[in-house]
Amino acid sequence: MTPIEEVIINKRTSVNPVWIMRQAGRYLPEFREIRKTNPDFIKLCLNPTLAAEITLQPLKRFNLDAAIIFSDILILPYGCKQKVEFKKNFGPILADLNLNDLSKITESEFTSKISPVYKAINLVKNNKLTKNKNTIGFVGAPWTLLVYMINKQSPKFNLNNNFFKDKILIQQTLKIIEKFLMVHIKNQVDNGAEIIQIFDSWAGLLDEKDLDFYVYKPTHTLVRFIKSLKIPAICFPRGVKDYKKYCEIVKPDVICIDYEVSPSKIEKEITIPVQGGMDPKILLTDKETLKKEIFKYLDIFKNHPYIFNLGHGVLPQTDPNLMEYLVKTVKNY
């Protein structure tokens, strides 16, 4: 059993597994070398050899307990034939959503369009570097994908004023998202993913009254589906105010917390295993500050099943040497 499985399945508190969101990517010079000759991000995600190589890069450097596949949550709309591109210093731009076209996509068309992702997972799972480590697959949560597909860009710039206007578009799109999320999850699991993480990056945009329809119910359906495949589900509802309520309704196996929540409050209120929490900006400081912050989380959760991670993805300007120090500090705690 891997250290992460010890925490999730056996609820052990004597192990300190560690993996980092966006551990494969922009802060690593070897990734930047690949990126120079592969400017199209989606094409890079759909190159199984390179996607597997990028996934394994951090495992060659650091004693991490998991590989998370190098991909993107927007592979789903891409698989549903909505054009997706990434503009430098801006982020993703999606084409107009045509509900008529969207509803005609078949499961086999979807799977075929993004099958390189599954080949990459298979390559990672069967690599000697992942022996005694977990291979993690992931998806965007229904709400977060809905935001991108209708808003057509990141809502950090703005959520369109008329976003909620067309209720039929929203309901039908959510149904289609749910259907293809299940296909995408099943394909990942069939190719070697042993854990699925659900990223709800924009859960914090919603008012409390809207969470049930957009977040709780659709995510709970997904979690139930993941559990039916005998695979643990980690949920990361970034920005939600009430993690306790989220856990009670959605019932994930692990809750991943962001850096704006009090870890002490979480430790008192949450009974299931916890992951994450540390602010990625701490990795831009120095060893002493970093050690202090790592110890804060490990001390708080020392009697609680806990997987060390950040409260969001590692930042591009992070020094790999500090990442190495982080992993060693967690392991030697």
- The candidate with the shortest Cα–Cα distance to 312, out of 280, 285, 282, 283, is 280
> Per the domain annotation, does 59 fall within a domain?
yes
For position 325, what pLDDT does the model report?
Answer: 98
Please state, in angstroms and rounded to a whole number, the distance separating the CA atoms of residues 276 and 236.
Answer: 9
Q: What's the pTM value of the predicted model, to 2 decimals?
A: 0.97
- Structural element, H or E, at residue 311: none
Q: What is the pLDDT of residue 88?
A: 83
Opening angle at CA 142, ends 278 and 53, nearest 5: 60
Q: Is 258 domain-assigned?
A: yes
Paired strand residues for 195: 136
Instruction: Say if 148 falls within a structural domain.
Output: yes
- Domain count across the chain: 1
Are 22 and 256 in contact by the 8 Å Cβ rule? The answer is no
- Phi and psi at residue 235, to the nearest 5°: -115, 135
pLDDT at 90: 85
* pLDDT number for residue 156: 82
CATH code of the domain in which 129 resides: 3.20.20.210
Domain coverage including residue 45: 16-264
Is residue 333 a part of any domain in this protein?
A: no
What pLDDT does residue 157 have?
A: 67
Residue 322 within a domain: no
Q: Is residue 321 part of a domain?
A: no
Query: Tens-digit pLDDT profile for the chain (333 aa)?
Result: 999 999 999 999 999 999 999 999 999 999 999 999 999 999 999 999 999 999 999 999 999 999 999 999 999 999 999 999 998 878 899 999 999 999 999 999 999 999 999 999 999 999 999 999 999 999 999 999 999 999 999 998 678 778 899 899 999 999 999 999 999 999 999 999 999 999 999 999 999 999 999 999 999 999 999 999 999 999 999 999 999 999 999 999 999 999 999 999 999 999 999 999 999 999 999 999 999 999 999 999 999 999 999 999 999 999 999 999 999 999 999
pLDDT of residue 161: 79
Q: How far apart are CA 47 and CA 55, in angstroms?
A: 12
Specify if 316 maps to a domain: no
Q: Which of 191, 197, 186 is nearest to 8 (CA)?
A: 197
Helices 217-228 + 167-190 axis angle, to 10 = 20
pLDDT at position 202 is 96
- Asked if residue 125 is part of any domain, the answer here is yes
